[in-house]
């Protein structure tokens, strides 16, 4: 813990000082005069939410990821579809997103305390940080001042979200388009230490297009065969939506480094997890953290990468709006 506490502040200063002009408008303590209790209110509600449903930590973190990769961190993923528009949340990659009710719950508390002040984008960013902390992961300072977007497109979400079956070149290209690099890719993949996934997101590693097990009972040779056999016990077919699998078996409610241990043993759930072993840079990081000797380093790296991701494409100043309810425009 001592090592971790020394690493984090130095890393955070470096990341914050590297902010772009747009991001520079985000500030630590942005609401110090208009809603000084914002972080306290969010944390208190998050404590209650995670105490009642510990498995929500992963989904809330995932909501933030899926928001930031489409139109930037502007809470566009929270908007409901309308008669004339299919919103991000109804895109195929987002069909399994959860936690929307928790966002509205926290937003309602903030509206009661500070009406029309705190954006949904900032609420989601804070909640994702607190989800990690409450799952025994690291903490980091969150610069605030994001504004909420006024548009949300399922088509854009389908085109821009990193796919679960992506290889490193494709994933790296998507990350670079958001101002993130290869290290951010392998570090943020560590978020798969939290949460579960439905069968269709990985079933193509177990069954071929006819729904039958592949040669020697395995379609994807990058997946450990013994682990594949265990997955088939839960995932009966390509279209089985009834069962969930832990992305970090045995530790899916705790933020730790065991995910990398699974990936190193060819037991990552998604093709994108397995792909990390095919690139020298990402593979070296996986193998290093998998030893269990560099937890503090990973926690520091994750904090840096989350700050970078939370600054992607933000709206500030007079851009966008401050929604009263996160699921609908004002």
Whether 66 sits among the annotated catalytic residues: the reply is yes
Return the closest-CA partner of residue 30 out of 125, 93, 118, 115.
118
Phi, psi angles (nearest 5°) of residue 252: -75, -10
State the Cα–Cα distance between residues 325 and 111, nearest whole angstrom.
Answer: 9
State the Cα–Cα distance between residues 90 and 236, nearest whole angstrom.
Answer: 25
Do 112 and 214 meet the contact criterion of CB atoms below 8 Å apart? no
State the Cα–Cα distance between residues 133 and 29, nearest whole angstrom.
Answer: 19
Catalytic-labelled residue, pool 64, 66, 192, 262: 66
Q: What angle do CA 203, 161, 318 make, to 5 degrees?
A: 155
Determine which helix (DSSP H) or strand (DSSP E) holds 121, and give its type and residue range: helix 120-134
Active-site annotation, residues: 66
């Amino acid at each position: 813990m001592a090592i971790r506490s020394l690493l984090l502040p130095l890393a955070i200063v470096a990341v914050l000082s590297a902010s772009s002009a747009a991001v520079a408008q985000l500030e630590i303590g942005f609401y110090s005069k208009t809603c000084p209790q914002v972080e306290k209110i969010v944390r208190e509600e998050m404590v209650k939410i995670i105490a009642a449903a510990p498995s929500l930590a992963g989904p809330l973190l995932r909501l933030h990821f899926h928001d930031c990769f489409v139109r930037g961190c502007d809470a566009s993923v929270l908007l409901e579809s309308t008669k004339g528009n299919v919103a991000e949340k109804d895109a195929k990659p987002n069909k399994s997103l959860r936690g929307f009710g928790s966002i509205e719950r926290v937003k309602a508390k903030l509206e009661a305390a500070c009406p029309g002040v705190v954006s949904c984008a900032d609420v989601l960013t804070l909640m994702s940080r607190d989800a990690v902390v409450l799952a025994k992961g690291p903490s980091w300072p969150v610069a605030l001042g994001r504004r909420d977007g006024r548009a949300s497109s399922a088509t854009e979400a389908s085109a821009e979200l990193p796919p679960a079956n992506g290889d490193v070149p494709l994933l790296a290209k998507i990350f670079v388009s958001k101002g993130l690099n290869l290290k951010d890719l392998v570090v943020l993949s560590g978020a798969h230490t939290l949460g579960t996934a439905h069968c269709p997101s990985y079933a193509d590693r177990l069954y071929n297009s006819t729904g039958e097990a592949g040669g020697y009972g395995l379609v994807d040779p990058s997946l450990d065969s013994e682990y594949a056999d265990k997955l088939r016990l839960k995932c009966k077919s390509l279209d089985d939506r009834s069962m969930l699998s832990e992305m970090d078996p045995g530790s899916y409610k705790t933020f730790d480094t065991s995910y990398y241990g699974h990936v190193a043993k060819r037991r990552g759930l998604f093709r994108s997890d397995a792909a990390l072993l095919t690139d020298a840079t990402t593979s070296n990081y996986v193998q290093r953290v998998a030893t269990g000797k560099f937890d503090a380093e990973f926690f520091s790296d994750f904090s840096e990468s989350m700050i970078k991701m939370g600054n992607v494409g933000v709206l500030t100043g007079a851009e966008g709006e401050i929604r009263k309810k996160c699921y609908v425009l004002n």
